[in-house]
């Protein structure tokens, strides 16, 4: 009997698909925004913002567009480098972020002892001296602005062409990607004005779009008969429900877990029951990718919330309960004492937990019994 999976890594969040059904138009739109960039007599710095809900292909589409632009430059015998930063993953202050840019674009330049501004100047000079070009992608910029007090990074990056106004700016573009424009409230007027007010908005996929996307991904991930069209339609409907809100990442997780379940139950194909079971046990607000992004302290804090809720058997618990659980767990894991509050704040921004007050801390609708073992095994690896 053939198995369920052909290649389950094709469902993983790390896999970047070749084809992006229903986002080709956006890929082209982004490439078109930079249509002047390969003209050596012009040196515009193009600032582009992309906004849209979670899991609707923003990061994937931007990366694909950057690749298309690199190819376009190469057809003009020019070298374009892409520096992609996911600020939720990379985090850090402005200094760390600029150092990362320098490492990506100019790896042979030492960054030690340079001020933030000097790093950008070096970067621009390096590109000019070597006849190279670059494009910078700042993904999850809303996360950075919400968690750090310093948003001057937006001011700096949107004015790269003013560092040496009489010389060409070989950084051709900066793309900011975010889930919403909420973070505008934290910017000052100068930052807002250079950012420009009109983002390219990614609309959610329709149910039919999600079906097409999932069929495509399933063809690569599953054996021929393992996934029927009824399963794909059901997952597409779940994905488009208000609870999941169009997040394709959740749909891929659901298919992966249901496939695993089919394998362990020894069925010939994935059944609707298996989809229902997995959907009932997993949480659209906490996906595997998001769990993988958490630091050890964030994981400990999240487990502490789960445990506190379990032991109190209530919808909300108090901070002191969470602290108690975190202290116990930290000790078991041999970690130093930790400030739970700081991490709870980060988990709140990531929309994993709800914090209404010190007396009301809860989870975003996750199924507790399912979540804890996943988190525990993760924190032991981290």
Ligand X SMILES: Nc1ncnc2c1ncn2[C@@H]1O[C@H](COP(=O)(O)OP(=O)(O)OP(=O)(O)O)[C@@H](O)[C@H]1O
Task: Enumerate binding residues for Mg ion (CB under 5 A).
Answer: 59
The CA distance from 307 to 96, in Å, is 35
Determine, following the binding rule CB under 6 A, whether residue 66 of this chain makes contact with ligand X.
no
**Residues with Cβ within 8 Å of residue 162, at least 6 apart in sequence:** none
Residue 154, CA distances (Å) to 68, 123, 195 in order: 25, 17, 7
The CA distance from 27 to 74, in Å, is 18
The CA distance from 93 to 116, in Å, is 10
Q: Which does 249 bind (CB under 5 to 8 A by kind): ligand X, Mg ion, none?
A: ligand X
Q: How far is the CB of 325 from Mg ion (least distance, A)?
A: 31
**How are the residues of the chain apportioned to helix, strand and coil, as percentages rounded to the nearest 5?**
55, 10, 35
Two structure tokens written together for 219: 């063809």
**Which one among 27, 83, 213, 258 touches ligand X, defined by CB under 6 A?**
213
Q: How far is the CB of 11 from ligand X (least distance, A)?
A: 8
Strand partners, 135: 82, 173
Are the C-beta atoms of residues 354 and 302 closer than 8 Å to each other?
A: no
Two structure tokens written together for 131: 């006849």
Determine, following the binding rule CB under 6 A, whether residue 204 of this chain makes contact with ligand X.
no
Q: Among residues 53 and 281, whose Cβ is nearest to Mg ion?
A: 53
Q: Which does 259 bind (CB under 5 to 8 A by kind): Mg ion, ligand X, none?
A: none
The upper half-sphere exposure of residue 247, i.e. CA atoms within 13 Å in the direction of its Cβ, equals: 20
Q: Which does 213 bind (CB under 5 to 8 A by kind): Mg ion, ligand X, none?
A: ligand X
Q: How far is the CB of 290 from ligand X (least distance, A)?
A: 8
Residue 60, CA distances (Å) to 46, 56, 137 in order: 20, 9, 12
* Residue span 9-48 as binding mask against ligand X, x where in contact by CB under 6 A, dash where not: ----x---x--xxxx-------------------------
Q: Among residues 209 and 307, whose Cβ is nearest to Mg ion?
A: 209
Determine, following the binding rule CB under 6 A, whether residue 56 of this chain makes contact with ligand X.
yes
Q: Among residues 59 and 285, whose Cβ is nearest to Mg ion?
A: 59
**Which one among 248, 278, 317, 361 touches ligand X, defined by CB under 6 A?**
248
Would you tell me which residues interact with ligand X (CB under 6 A)? Answer: 13, 17, 20-23, 52, 54-60, 179, 213, 217, 248-249, 252
């Amino acid at each position: 009997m053939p198995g369920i999976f052909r290649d389950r890594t094709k469902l993983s969040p790390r896999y970047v698909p070749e084809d992006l059904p229903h986002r080709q138009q956006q890929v082209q739109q982004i490439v078109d925004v930079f249509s002047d960039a390969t003209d050596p007599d012009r040196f515009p710095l193009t600032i582009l913002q992309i906004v849209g809900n979670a899991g609707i292909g923003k990061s994937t589409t931007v990366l694909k567009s950057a690749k298309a632009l690199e190819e376009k430059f190469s057809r003009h015998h020019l070298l374009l480098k892409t520096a992609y930063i996911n600020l939720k993953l990379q985090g850090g202050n402005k200094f760390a972020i600029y150092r990362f840019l320098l490492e990506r674009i100019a790896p042979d330049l030492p960054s030690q002892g340079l001020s933030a501004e000097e790093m950008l100047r070096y970067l621009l000079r390096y590109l000019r001296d070597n006849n190279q070009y670059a494009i910078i992608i700042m993904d999850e910029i809303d996360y950075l602005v919400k968690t750090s007090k310093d948003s001057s990074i937006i001011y700096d990056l949107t004015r790269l062409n003013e560092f040496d106004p009489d010389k060409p700016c070989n950084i051709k573009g900066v793309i900011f990607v975010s889930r919403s424009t909420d973070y505008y409230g934290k910017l000052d007027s100068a930052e807002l004005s250079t950012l420009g007010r009109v983002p390219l908005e990614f609309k959610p996929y329709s149910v039919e779009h999600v079906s097409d996307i999932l069929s495509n991904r399933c063809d690569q991930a599953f054996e021929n008969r393992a996934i029927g069209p009824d399963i794909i339609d059901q997952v597409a409907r779940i994905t488009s429900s208000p609870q999941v809100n169009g997040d394709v990442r959740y749909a891929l997780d659901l298919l992966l877990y249901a496939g695993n379940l089919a394998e362990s139950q020894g069925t010939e194909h994935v059944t609707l029951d298996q989809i229902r079971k997995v959907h009932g046990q997993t949480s659209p607000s906490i996906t595997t990718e998001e769990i993988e992004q958490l630091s050890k302290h964030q994981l400990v804090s999240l487990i502490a919330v789960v445990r506190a809720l379990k032991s109190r058997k209530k919808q909300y618990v108090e901070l002191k309960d969470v602290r108690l659980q975190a202290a116990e767990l930290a000790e078991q894991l041999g970690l130093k004492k930790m400030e739970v509050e700081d991490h709870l704040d980060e988990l709140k921004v990531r929309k994993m937990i709800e914090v209404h007050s010190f007396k009301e801390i809860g989870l975003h609708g996750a199924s507790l019994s399912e979540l804890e073992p996943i988190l525990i095994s993760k924190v032991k690896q981290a």
